[in-house]
């Protein structure tokens, strides 16, 4: 999420010459025109599936591509059952050609599953974020990994702005008072603040981070950002944000920290006890990036001590989150299931983007360059 997804000479080649030859065998086979077995893994919408015609990203409506695929002679299997050796997905691993998943109900594609998937050629994410896939294993096996870049960036940025306001104004306790028949203004007001004049820092300023900063500008905040790439001066001036190259220098200045970075081996558990301790006491954190970027227990302890004054996000590790996940029971949290990027508007966009890539795959054509996460054995730089 941090920047434009481009494959450059600096990108790291993740496979050897022997695995590269495996790539070309799979890739050339993809354009042969024969029937393909495509498996989609989505969440079930149950009674909600029929309540909105644009509810495409669920098992029942299957991205709206079933009739199109089957009319061309392809097999399309859709399930929500994705965990364990006896799950429905596991039954189809050995002979599927394409696996489609979403960040909201991810099918975890491990090296072991890739090894079993002898016919697998293409891994598609209907949405943004492909960290549920072992990208090193995918690259070494010669697989193509792609996602619908940009499909839900507006949805996520708007959701982040909402969460900042929810935490800043101490909204959740007020809502709970109404539901519980209570009325205690003081119990809400003592932790409620204006957003104007506060310092907001985003860790990552790719598509989503930039949109968030643009939406925050009218609130009169002090806007900071940390990213591996600095914006062009004209854009920085337009947004009114200041670049901080050293993350350790930015964090202590922020009243609110927003995470807008991909999950990689480098960022996994990055915000641990030591990193959280560098922030202002009472800092508000919004994380719609990935749950595993945070050290789970460090967040719990910081919330209990007041080092973190409020935490909100829609990402968990794992997903779906188990009932005993400790973030469910933290004080001053405003957590939800993974919903920020799956609005009806976003679903229309990522369903259309998935269909477009499948059409190109059947024809042996390239995808839009920014959609590739793994191509020709090379992993996109933001995931390295």
In the annotated binding site for substrate, the residues are: 128, 152
Annotated catalytic residue within 338, 347, 349, 371: 338
Q: Given the structure tokens 């993350």, which residue do they identify?
A: 247
Give the C-alpha separation, 328 to 333, whole Å. 8
Q: Taking CA 293 as the corner, what is the angle to CA 303 and CA 305, rounded to the nearest 5 degrees?
A: 10
Q: What is the CA radius of gyration of the chain?
A: 22
Give the C-alpha separation, 238 to 223, whole Å. 12
Of 338, 354, 365, 378, give the one whose Cα is nearest residue 151.
Answer: 354
Q: Where are the beta strands (DSSP E) in 182-307?
A: 199-203, 222-226, 241-243, 256-259, 283-287
Annotated catalytic residue within 319, 332, 347, 382: 319
Annotated catalytic residue within 92, 105, 113, 290: 290
Instruction: Please confirm, yes or no, whether 132 is among the known catalytic residues.
Output: no
- Which parts are annotated binding residues? 128, 152, 207-208, 227, 262-266, 288, 314, 338-341
Instruction: Please confirm, yes or no, whether 290 is among the known catalytic residues.
Output: yes
Please, are residues 307 and 281 in contact by the beta-carbon 8 Å criterion? Answer: yes
Instruction: Please confirm, yes or no, whether 152 is among the known catalytic residues.
Output: yes
One-character DSSP codes across 66-94: HHHHHHTT-EEEEES--SSTTSHHHHHGG
Of 369, 353, 361, give the one whose Cα is nearest residue 143.
Answer: 361
Q: Where are the beta strands (DSSP E) in the chain?
A: 37-41, 75-79, 98-101, 122-125, 144-147, 199-203, 222-226, 241-243, 256-259, 283-287, 308-313, 372-375, 378-379
- Which parts are annotated binding residues for NAD(+)? 207-208, 227, 262-266, 288, 314, 338-341
Q: What six digits make up the tokens of 168? A: 């800043």
Annotated catalytic residue within 152, 287, 347, 371: 152
Q: Which residues are catalytic?
A: 152, 290, 319, 338
């Amino acid at each position: 999420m941090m920047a434009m997804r481009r494959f450059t000479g600096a990108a790291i080649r993740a496979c050897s010459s022997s695995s590269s030859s495996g790539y070309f065998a799979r890739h050339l086979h993809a354009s042969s025109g024969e029937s393909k077995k495509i498996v989609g893994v989505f969440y079930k919408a149950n009674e909600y599936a029929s309540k909105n015609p644009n509810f495409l990203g669920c098992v029942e409506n299957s991205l709206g591509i079933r009739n199109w695929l089957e009319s061309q002679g392809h097999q399309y299997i859709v399930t929500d059952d994705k965990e364990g050796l006896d799950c429905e997905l596991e039954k189809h691993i050995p002979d599927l050609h394409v696996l489609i998943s979403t960040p909201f109900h991810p099918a975890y594609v491990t090296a072991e599953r890739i090894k079993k998937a002898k016919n697998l050629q293409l891994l598609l994410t209907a949405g943004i974020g492909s960290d549920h896939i072992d990208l090193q294993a995918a690259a070494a096996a010669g697989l193509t990994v792609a996602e619908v870049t940009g499909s839900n960036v507006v949805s996520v940025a708007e959701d982040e702005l909402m969460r900042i306001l929810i935490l800043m104004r101490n909204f959740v306790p007020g809502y709970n008072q109404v539901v519980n028949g209570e009325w205690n203004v003081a119990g809400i007001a003592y932790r409620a603040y204006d957003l104007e004049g506060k310092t907001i820092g985003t860790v990552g300023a790719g598509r989503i981070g930039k949109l968030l900063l643009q939406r925050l500008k009218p609130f009169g905040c002090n806007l900071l950002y940390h990213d591996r790439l600095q914006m062009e001066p004209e854009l920085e001036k337009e947004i009114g944000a200041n670049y901080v190259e050293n993350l350790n220098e930015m964090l202590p200045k922020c009243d609110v920290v927003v995470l807008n970075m991909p999950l990689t081996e480098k960022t996994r558990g990055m915000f641990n006890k030591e990193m959280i301790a560098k922030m202002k006491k009472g800092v508000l954190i919004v994380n719609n990036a990935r749950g595993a970027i945070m050290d789970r227990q460090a967040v719990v302890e910081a919330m209990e001590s007041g080092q973190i004054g409020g935490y909100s996000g829609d990402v968990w590790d794992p997903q779906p989150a188990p009932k005993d996940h400790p973030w469910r029971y933290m004080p001053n949290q405003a957590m939800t299931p993974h919903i920020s990027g799956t609005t009806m508007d976003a679903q229309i966009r990522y369903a259309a983007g998935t269909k477009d890539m499948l059409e190109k795959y059947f024809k042996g054509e390239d995808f839009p360059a920014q959609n590739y996460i793994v191509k020709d054995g090379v992993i996109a730089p933001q995931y390295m």
